[in-house]
Structure 1
């Protein structure tokens, strides 16, 4: 969680150097190598001691749905959604730190996972529970802080400056 304490907005980059982006349809999320777009920036909202929410540039929240990604495929869809009463915690993510990277875990115990390969898997993002060691490495994300939160801690010199400006 300490990776996100000072972050106002972040980018998530997979091990294949692709960023998680919000699609223009305001529902889909996907991967792309170009992380410079505002679609790659996610605003961070802590929801307690261990969980956070991610908000896209479209004002939608990253959600781990219960819908299968494809028929017969283990992973489930990850999408953008409006914030509704979140009774099942589907928009809450628990960062599990692993060095300078993190795994993002749902309340159900599955992890945010970038998918590669041939279409329709190429550049998709799902959530599931990796069982093989090789798959466990694939759910690691690099966290790039785009904007930090302003510091609310006032120093003595800040207070003195405030008093001088206030008296004028």
Structure 2
């Protein structure tokens, strides 16, 4: 399907509401919002072939988590179950797999292999057997081969991540999150085994306070003895079968343990990463 090409950055706009699928700032929820020009609204296509039939997986630019159907009931007044951000830990996991159905207009339906269609509402995304409000308009999001160079320059100049995520809505007021402490587990990409795993002894851990991506890079550079801080590329991977995703936003506002894979700028692994075009979002 030409609108959904493997590795492409896309935005999914509801043909009914005109809003976009958003990866919420907490790294778990999925909602709808009219603002396209945000990394929250950017998803990367991950195509899998199963018996010749293509399955579409979508993972967020913000934290690398996969768009997944759940059995969690939708909020009162809405039909179906919630869509959330999940890890891709099992290849047979049907909740993260979607079958696209294309219309002549170019709009698509996305049917979850676990049942139901991806649907829009005025606030959240759901899955339901009825495909009403289930048509989506995929549109490509520009990426840059020079993405890391642009990101590096921005981080060096500003001392912060280029994107500050703004959640489209909040279920409850949040306390001050500037001093959140969380455990950071980290490993260098060079320690990866041929089977895609990392030896247990290769991982290290420390407590990090705050959400600043800039400060996290400084701390990782210090712990890994990088001579140049900007050579540190911080990546996340949502599950064993998830794809490596460069982290371009500040950390989520929670104290959940984060696993970081550090890629060195200028290496083959770094050259294979795909960054969103900072100047285009």
TM value normalised by structure 2: 0.46
Following TM superposition, by how much is the alpha carbon of 1:138 offset from its aligned partner in structure 2, in angstroms? 1.3
CA offsets 1:113-166 (integer angstroms, 9 cap, x no match): 0112xxxxxx11100111xxxxx4411001101147x9xxxxxxxxxxxxxxxx
- CA separation of 1:72/1:6 partners in 2, compared to 1, >3 Å: closer, same or farther? closer
Structure ranking higher in strand proportion: 1
What is the count of residue pairs matched by the alignment? Answer: 139
Instruction: Say which SS state the counterpart of residue 47 (structure 1) adopts.
Output: strand
1:7–1:147 contact (8 Å) kept in structure 2: no
Unaligned runs of 5+ in 1: 117-122, 131-135, 151-168
Following TM superposition, by how much is the alpha carbon of 1:98 offset from its aligned partner in structure 2, in angstroms? 1.1
Larger mean CA deviation between 78-87 and 11-20 belongs to 78-87
Structure 1 stretches of 4+ moved >3 Å: 70-74
Aligned pairs for 1:1-168 within 5 A: 1-5=1-5, 8-15=8-15, 16-48=17-49, 49-56=53-60, 57-70=62-75, 74-99=79-104, 100-116=106-122, 123-130=123-130, 136-147=131-142
- CA separation of 1:37/1:52 partners in 2, compared to 1, >3 Å: closer, same or farther? same
2:5–2:45 contact (8 Å) kept in structure 1: no
Unaligned runs of 5+ in 2: 146-281
Query: Looking at both structures, which has the greater relative contact order when contacts are Cα pairs under 8 Å and sequence separation is at least 6?
Result: 1
Instruction: Say which SS state the counterpart of residue 27 (structure 1) adopts.
Output: coil
The CA RMSD measured in Å over matched residues stands at 2.2
Give the Cα–Cα distance (whole angstroms) in 1 for the partners of residues 82 and 64 of structure 2: 19
2:71–2:82 contact (8 Å) kept in structure 1: yes
TM value normalised by structure 1: 0.75
Instruction: Say which SS state the counterpart of residue 8 (structure 2) adopts.
Output: strand
